[in-house]
Amino acid sequence: MNMMKAIEALEPAADGEGGFHPLFADVPSSVEFNKLRKRLLRLTRQAIDDFAMVTPGQRWLVALSGGKDSYGLLAILLDLKWRGLLPVDLLACNLDQGQPDFPKHILPDYLDRHAIPHRIEYQDTYSVVTDKLPQGSTYCSLCSRLRRGNLYRIAREEGCSALVLGHHREDILETFFMNLFHCGKLAAMPPKLLNDEGDVMVLRPLSYCAEIDLEKFAAAMRFPIIPCDLCGSQEGLQRNAMKAMLDDIEKRMPGRKETMLRALSNSRPSHLLDRKLFDFATLNETLTTGQPDDI
């Protein structure tokens, strides 16, 4: 059965006893939710296939922050695995970074209730960040780097070949424009990336999924969301400016986000200015030989 037929067969299977992962036992039975679920499954499976993410028998460490995206990622991967479409073992992992007022019970209670294999790790990176950065600074960049380093360590300790993150379409586009406007480079979040040490693959299976769909999915699934503003450093981020810009573009010209995402997989080095990617000097030789250009 190919990928499309497998996804289309999901709902008939769900009608039978044992035809769904326990996470989906109490989901809405509406046509709208079924379409949303199918769309997220299809797009996730497409990204997994397009970027050759799966080697059967591997173990994946699924980062779970308590936000809508990571909950959605875990649920979708568990659903695919339940149906035999994802031949890897999954281990959910939450890194408690010591933020003030972090509700420590929510994630382990949720994971235990649904019998999901998991590891809860405590590392007080919050104190490290607040010690190194002046008061009023944005903590997210350093906090993210410390979190990633710990997750790589946990992946090694647990025998996981991949760290799986819940970044979606908007995250990728926002990163692209942040790099464009502030770093002077064309770069985004790749769906698949090998870490610097060369021993852990970073995977983003939700790369094709829209944030609005994940928001609707999280609401329908009634995930116990933990807010991402516990450290109080979220206001005024450049990423928020990129998000607002992209939302305004999408409002004015519907469908532009999807077009921009397609553009990231349709680059033309000969039509850019990067001399490391295209040898413009050879065009002189092409002119003398009369070969056509690439316009």
Position 149 pLDDT exceeds 80: yes
User: Tens digits of per-residue pLDDT, 165-220?
Assistant: 999 999 999 999 999 999 999 999 999 999 999 999 999 999 999 999 999 999 99
Q: How far apart are CA 247 and CA 251, in angstroms?
A: 6
Q: Are strands 192-194 and 201-203 parallel, antiparallel or unpaired?
A: antiparallel
pLDDT at 97: 77
pLDDT at 15: 35
Q: How far apart are CA 174 and CA 178, in angstroms?
A: 6
Please tell me the CATH code under which domain 21-227 is placed: 3.40.50.620
Q: Angle at CA 28, nearest 5°, toward 27 and 30?
A: 145
Residue that is written with structure tokens 């659903």 in the block: 79
pLDDT at 17: 39
pTM of the model: 0.86
User: Tens digits of per-residue pLDDT, 37-73?
Assistant: 999 999 999 999 999 999 999 999 999 999 999 999 9
Position 12 pLDDT exceeds 50: no
Sign for the CA dihedral angle at 15, 17, 23, 28 comes to positive
Q: Where are the domains of the chain?
A: 21-227
Close Cβ partners of 274 (under 8 Å, ≥ 6 residues apart): 186
User: Tens digits of per-residue pLDDT, 282-294?
Assistant: 888 767 666 655 5
pLDDT at 49: 97
Position 18 pLDDT exceeds 50: no
Gyration radius of the chain's alpha carbons:
21
